[in-house]
């Protein structure tokens, strides 16, 4: 029925919008809850001239009533005006974040995809070989990475592969001051820089999909249809990946969507350790400088990105699961 | 509510079954108990005051400073030992806050139903969808880096999954016959809550509490690593923060980098093992399906 899917999408849209405004509201309220005036937090860049300071105060109406400030704040945010960064002044918060965004998307996009695929395959194998040595090793791996701080794992990698062995560069995404003869050469340099942080994020992200797939597939393997396909003489690999894994794909896709926030957390730490010029590292820099507009801006952009990603996953989910469509 | 001797005996017996049933729980428990002991007797075994200058900066390990000294000349081993206090404090109290808020909201949502339930559950969705780590960084950046602010922030942001769990538990028993029977016998809401709902919740909540301790410890370590840790209290995350920004790498000071992370990992593993074996004990289905 087309009606129910429209209603489903509308519902998700309403949720998206409400959450969007809640994030804006959090950003609005936080500096105003703290001791001191909001001007102290939002318009106190050390390098800000008095004129610019006054202009910011006017733009955000910081001398007006709270309600007017709120309306003005929403208007500004919707226009993409998140104020100026203290640290990167005269760049705006939006410009700073957008210049960093591609690096994070690159790093996370690849590691997240790879980690999910490897995690699902390993999880399926672990379920297939339940209670064998392989299973124990894989589950221990998932446990170990679950209790390990990701930044420490990053520091170990950096220390052994970067400092001791000298195989990989220690920081950044590209060699500073390097002239590239071709785009290909630049890509190679980028790859050399990204191998360590990517490996760390992948190790960090493998655990959850591995454990979930393992338990879901273990359940599926006891089902009659799996036994039937085995009795039919299908090769085990086919049974595992074509039959046992299929019903698992739906809960897995919702689950990996939930993981998005977790992924972002991993990025903050990994980028900080490897000095990766992404949004995660930017948050760290902003915190170090107590650059409040930048902290808030990064929070806003990241939250909105995750929100949108979730919304897209919801849509895909509705497309994949007839129960959502036909309800 | 007084605890009867027979209940105590039963509790102890159950506990010994958990231990005997599963070797994982023993390993976990040993780790947890040793860490608590370490935290309690920290002043007795730490060779120095963690924040007193007792050596030259950047000393390598020696008999006087087993793990060397940091950039100021503080003894690293002493900071490591005292760090267990901060980790456990935030771990236990943060998880307690999370569970308390989660149970409260779950109970209200489940029993009230209707519009209150709807509002609370949408709030749960909202908190869940906002990236936790970034949100907590923003909160602590504003509140200021102190142990109590970290615990508070963990509490404020960590409750949603537990609230959902408790709510669905309440839904599953709300209309069950034994609750209805109790009601027909004239039992009041509070009585039912105390006698039927809470006891049923404990096996659900206990493992989650232990597992939440892991998350709280990791959150504290992460915040400290980003420079949002309590500067007055030595912690493992803070040690790694200083190691990172004060050049432990270029000096090859692995003794400054490896031990703090190892402590966090071992601690996390201890609670993880104990928590997941509790989960298996209380939820036998997990044993059969072999989740862990």
ipTM of the complex: 0.87
Whole-number pLDDT of residue A283: 92
Whole-number pLDDT of residue A49: 73
- Provide the CATH topology of domain A102-288: MetI-like fold (1.10.3720)
CA-nearest residue to A32 within chain B is B142
* Contacts A303 to B, Cβ<8 Å: 130-131, 134-135
User: Rounded to an integer, what distance in angstroms lies between the CA atom of residue B174 and that of residue B172?
Assistant: 6
User: Rounded to an integer, what distance in angstroms lies between the CA atom of residue A111 and that of residue A264?
Assistant: 12
Whole-number pLDDT of residue B68: 85
* Contacts B265 to A, Cβ<8 Å: 144, 147-149, 152
Q: Is the pLDDT of residue B287 over 80?
A: no
Residue B184 confidence class, pLDDT cut points 50, 70, 90: confident
pLDDT, tens digit, 9 for 90 and up, residues B16-60: 777 776 778 888 999 999 999 999 998 898 888 888 888 878 888
pLDDT, tens digit, 9 for 90 and up, residues A273-300: 999 999 999 999 998 888 888 988 999 9
Whole-number pLDDT of residue B124: 93
Across the range B106-110, mean pLDDT stands at: 92
| pLDDT, mean over chain A | 85
Q: What phi and psi, each to the nearest 5 degrees, are found at residue A92?
A: -80, 160
Instruction: Test B131 with A306 for CB contact under 8 angstroms.
Output: yes
Q: Is the pLDDT of residue B288 over 50?
A: no
Q: Which of B51, B50, B53 is nearest to B42 (CA)?
A: B50
pLDDT, tens digit, 9 for 90 and up, residues A88-101: 877 888 999 999 99
Q: In this predicted structure, which of A65-74, B20-29, B34-43, B200-209 has the lowest mean pLDDT?
A: B20-29
Across the range A232-240, mean pLDDT stands at: 82
pLDDT, tens digit, 9 for 90 and up, residues A126-148: 988 888 899 889 988 898 888 89
Q: Where are the domains of chain A?
A: 1-87+291-327, 102-288
A19 to chain B, any CB pair closer than 8 A? The answer is yes
Whole-number pLDDT of residue B73: 79
Q: Is the pLDDT of residue B2 over 60?
A: no
Separation in Å, CA of B87 to nearest CA in chain A = 13
* Assigned token pair, B21: 């049933």
Q: In this predicted structure, which of A24-33, A229-238, B132-141, B254-263 has the lowest mean pLDDT?
A: A229-238
Across the range A260-280, mean pLDDT stands at: 91
Interface of B with A in 92-131 (CB under 8 A): 122, 125-126, 128-131
| pLDDT, mean over chain B | 87
CB atoms within 10 A of CB A231: 9
Instruction: Test B269 with A170 for CB contact under 8 angstroms.
Output: no
Tell me how many residue pairs between chain A and chain B have CB atoms under 8 A apart: 160
Look-up of token digits 């703290």: A34
Q: Which of B277, B235, B238, B239 is nearest to B256 (CA)?
A: B239
Would you say A82 and A66 are in contact if contact means Cβ atoms under 8 Å apart? no
B141 to chain A, any CB pair closer than 8 A? The answer is yes
Separation in Å, CA of A120 to nearest CA in chain B = 14
Would you say B261 and B254 are in contact if contact means Cβ atoms under 8 Å apart? no
Whole-number pLDDT of residue A36: 65
Q: Is the pLDDT of residue A38 over 70?
A: no
Whole-number pLDDT of residue A181: 81
Q: How many CA atoms lie within 13 A of A34 on its CB side?
A: 21
Residue A17 confidence class, pLDDT cut points 50, 70, 90: very high
Which residue out of B145, B290, B292 would a mutagenesis test of the A interface target, given it has the greatest number of A Cβ atoms within 10 Å? B290
Q: Is the pLDDT of residue A46 over 70?
A: no
Helix H segments across A79-132?
A: 93-128
Q: Is the pLDDT of residue B289 over 50?
A: no
Q: Is the pLDDT of residue B4 over 70?
A: no
Q: Is the pLDDT of residue B161 over 80?
A: yes
> Going from the N-terminus, what domains does chain B have, and what CATH number goes with each?
23-52+75-288 (1.10.3720.10)
User: Rounded to an integer, what distance in angstroms lies between the CA atom of residue A262 and that of residue A254?
Assistant: 14
């Amino acid at each position: 029925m087309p009606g129910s899917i429209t209603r489903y999408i509308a519902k998700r849209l309403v949720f998206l919008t409400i959450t969007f405004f809640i994030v804006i509201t959090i950003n609005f309220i936080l500096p105003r809850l703290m001791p001191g005036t909001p001007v102290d937090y939002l318009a106190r860049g050390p390098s800000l001239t008095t004129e610019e300071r006054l202009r910011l105060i006017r733009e955000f109406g910081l001398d007006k009533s709270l309600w007017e400030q709120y309306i003005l704040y929403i208007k500004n945010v919707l226009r993409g005006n998140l104020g100026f960064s203290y640290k990167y002044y005269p760049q705006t918060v939006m410009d700073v974040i957008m210049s960093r965004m591609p690096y994070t998307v690159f790093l996370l996009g690849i590691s997240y995809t790879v980690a999910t695929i490897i995690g699902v395959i390993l999880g399926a194998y672990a379920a297939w070989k339940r209670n064998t040595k392989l299973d124990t090793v894989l589950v221990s791996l998932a446990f170990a990475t679950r209790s390990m701080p990701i930044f420490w794992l990053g520091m170990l990698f950096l220390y052994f592969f970067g400092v001791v062995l000298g195989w990989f560069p220690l920081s950044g995404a590209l060699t500073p001051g390097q002239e590239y003869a071709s785009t290909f050469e630049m890509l190679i340099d980028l790859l050399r820089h990204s191998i360590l942080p990517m490996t760390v994020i992948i190790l960090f992200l493998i655990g959850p999909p591995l454990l979930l797939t393992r338990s879901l597939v273990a359940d599926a393997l006891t089902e009659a249809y799996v036994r039937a396909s085995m009795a039919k003489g299908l090769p085990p690999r086919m049974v595992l990946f074509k039959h046992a894994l299929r019903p698992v794909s739906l809960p897995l896709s919702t689950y990996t969507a939930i993981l998005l926030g977790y992924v972002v957390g991993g990025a903050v730490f990994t980028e900080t350790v490897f000095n990766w010029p992404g949004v995660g590292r930017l948050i760290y820099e902003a915190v170090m400088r107590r650059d409040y507009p930048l902290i808030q801006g990064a929070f806003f952009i990241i939250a909105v990105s995750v929100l949108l990603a979730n919304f897209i996953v919801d849509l895909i989910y509705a497309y994949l699961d007839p129960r959502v469509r036909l309800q | 509510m007084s605890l009867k001797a027979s209940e105590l005996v039963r509790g102890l017996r159950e506990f010994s079954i958990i231990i005997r049933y599963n070797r994982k729980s023993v390993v976990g428990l040993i780790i947890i108990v040793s860490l608590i002991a370490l935290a309690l007797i920290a002043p007795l075994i730490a060779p120095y005051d963690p924040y007193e200058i007792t050596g030259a900066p950047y000393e390598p390990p020696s008999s006087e400073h087993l793990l060397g000294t940091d950039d100021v000349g503080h003894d690293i081993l002493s900071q490591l030992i005292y760090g267990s206090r901060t980790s456990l404090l935030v771990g236990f109290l943060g998880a307690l806050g999370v569970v308390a808020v989660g149970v409260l909201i779950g109970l209200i949502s489940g029993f009230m139903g209707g519009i209150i339930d709807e509002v609370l559950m949408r709030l749960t969705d909202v908190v869940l969808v906002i990236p936790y780590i970034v949100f907590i960084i923003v909160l602590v950046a504003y509140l200021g880096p102190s142990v109590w602010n970290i615990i508070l922030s963990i509490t404020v942001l960590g409750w949603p999954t537990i609230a959902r769990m408790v709510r669905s538990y309440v839904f599953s028993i709300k209309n069950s016959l034994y609750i209805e029977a109790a009601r027909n016998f004239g039992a009041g809401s509070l009585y039912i809550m105390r006698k039927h709902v809470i006891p049923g919740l404990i096996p659900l909540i206990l493992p989650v509490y232990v597992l939440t301790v892991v998350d709280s410890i990791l959150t504290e370590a992460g915040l400290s690593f980003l420079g949002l840790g309590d500067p007055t209290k030595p912690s493992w995350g803070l040690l790694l923060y200083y190691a990172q920004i004060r050049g432990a790498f270029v000096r090859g000071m692995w003794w400054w980098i490896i031990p703090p992370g190892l402590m966090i990992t071992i601690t996390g593993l201890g609670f993880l093992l104990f928590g997941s074996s509790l989960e298996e004990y209380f939820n036998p289905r997990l044993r059969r399906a072999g989740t862990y």
